[in-house]
């Protein structure tokens, strides 16, 4: 089933271009390729993921081949190649959160939102999106709150001690 992205279409605004130029200027001319990570972060923050157009734009800014940018995108699991939902859940799955029920929390959120994780994996396609495009989930490696698990991020909001039975209340905070 096709999902609908809640992020803006890929259009490089003057502000984004200026921010990219500012980041590139922090590197010597012969090392400007080192700005690839900051530019990827700018794009992912603005558009939610990094698509082929973004890869080509960054490559053009840095004088690289698009494949060189794509290699970086595909290497780091923190970069997404597909759009997440409007509300993106990152659920910690390290040992303490796993023992506190993070797998059950993931299962409950997927059940409540209609997310099918069967086509997602842990590295190249970690994000699973609901059919409506509003919700997405992925596992995260250690969100640094081992004593209050299971923990998760919803976009940039941090939530502690989110037992599976609290999943519906958590979702209700973001509906609308």
Per residue in 86-129, pLDDT (tens digit) is 999 999 999 999 999 999 999 999 999 999 998 776 666 678 99
Cite the annotated binding site by residue number.
Answer: 92, 97, 142, 146
Overall average pLDDT of the 153-174 stretch: 95
CATH 1.10.10.1590 intervals, the chain: 14-75
CA–CA gap between residue 6 and residue 47 (Å, rounded): 9
CATH top-level class of 87-173: alpha beta
CATH 3.40.30.10 intervals, the chain: 87-173
Per residue in 34-68, pLDDT (tens digit) is 999 999 999 998 988 999 999 999 999 999 999 99
What's the confidence (pLDDT) of residue 124? 63
CATH top-level class of 14-75: mainly alpha
Cite the annotated binding site for [2Fe-2S] cluster by residue number.
Answer: 92, 97, 142, 146
For residue 154, pLDDT beyond 60:
yes
């Amino acid at each position: 089933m096709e999902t609908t992205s809640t992020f803006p279409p890929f259009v490089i605004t003057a502000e984004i271009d200026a921010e990219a130029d500012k980041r590139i200027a922090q590197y010597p001319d012969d090392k400007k390729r080192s700005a690839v990570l900051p530019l990827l972060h700018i794009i992912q923050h603005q558009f939610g993921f990094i698509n082929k157009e973004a890869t080509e734009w960054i490559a053009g800014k840095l004088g690289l081949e698009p494949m060189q940018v794509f290699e970086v995108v595909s290497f780091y699991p923190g970069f997404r190649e597909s759009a997440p939902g409007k509300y993106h859940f990152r659920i910690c799955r390290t040992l303490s959160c796993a023992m506190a029920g993070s797998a059950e929390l993931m299962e409950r959120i997927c059940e409540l939102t209609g997310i099918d994780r069967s086509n997602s994996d842990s590295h190249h396609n970690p994000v699973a999106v609901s059919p409506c495009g509003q919700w997405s989930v992925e596992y995260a490696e250690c969100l640094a709150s081992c004593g209050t698990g299971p923990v998760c991020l919803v976009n940039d909001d941090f939530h502690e001690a989110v037992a599976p039975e609290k999943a519906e209340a958590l979702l209700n905070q973001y509906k609308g």
